[in-house]
Every structure is written in structure tokens, then in C-alpha cells.
Amino acid sequence: MLTTLLAGIRDIGATLLGLYVWVIIIAAVMSWLIAFNVINAYQPVVRQLMSFFWALTEPALRPIRRWIPLLGGVDVSPIILILVVQFLAIPLWVTLFNSLIQAL
């Protein structure tokens, strides 16, 4: 019973990390659309969405931006954060919970 609970927590955590990758992608695309005047940043809905995505992604992106400067005016910090989540966070999360399940 406890192993089933831990497996469920493992799967929920991996799913949330996968959803966070999509949040990073959406925030990056929205910032590009605003930068190229495809969508109007003065619209209240756009402003609310952008502040929502900014609040979710900025705490994780800020340390990366501090260490890696813009490359030709392009911010590569979302790409680096996606790579970190995909190749480090999700496998570590799953491995941690798999070893916990096997220990029980």
C-alpha cells in the first residue's frame, strides 16, 4: 500500500515537472510575441497571463540569467532551464522515488 502511494507521488511529481517545461515554453513564446508586436502587451488579459507566467518562471530563470549573458540579444536561459528539468530533475525525481519504493 505504501509503495503504491509512493509510486503515485513519483508520477505526480514527474508530471508536474513536465508541465513546468510547458510553462517555460509558453512564457518564452509569449515574450517573443510581445517583443515582435504580434500580441498587444497593454491588453489586460495578456498582461495578466504574462505576469502569471513570469511569476512561475522568473525565480528559476533569474540565477541562470545571472551566469549566462544574452547571446546576440537572445535569452537562452529558458532553453537551459528546460534541459536541466528534462535531463536532471525528472530522472533524479524518478530515481529517488524508485529507490525509496525498493527500500520498502
In the chain, the number of structural domains is 1
2-41 per-position pLDDT tens digit: 888 888 888 898 899 999 999 999 999 999 999 999 999 9
State the residue range of the domain holding 86.
Answer: 2-103
The predicted model scores a pTM of 0.87
Mean pLDDT of 63-91: 91
The cell for 30 is: 509569449
Q: Which residue has the higher pLDDT, 56 or 91?
A: 56
Q: What is the pLDDT of residue 44?
A: 96
- Which band of pLDDT confidence, cut at 50, 70 and 90, is reported for residue 96? confident
CB 97 within 8 A of CB 9: yes
CA neighbor of 14 nearest in space, from 91, 81, 98, 88:
91
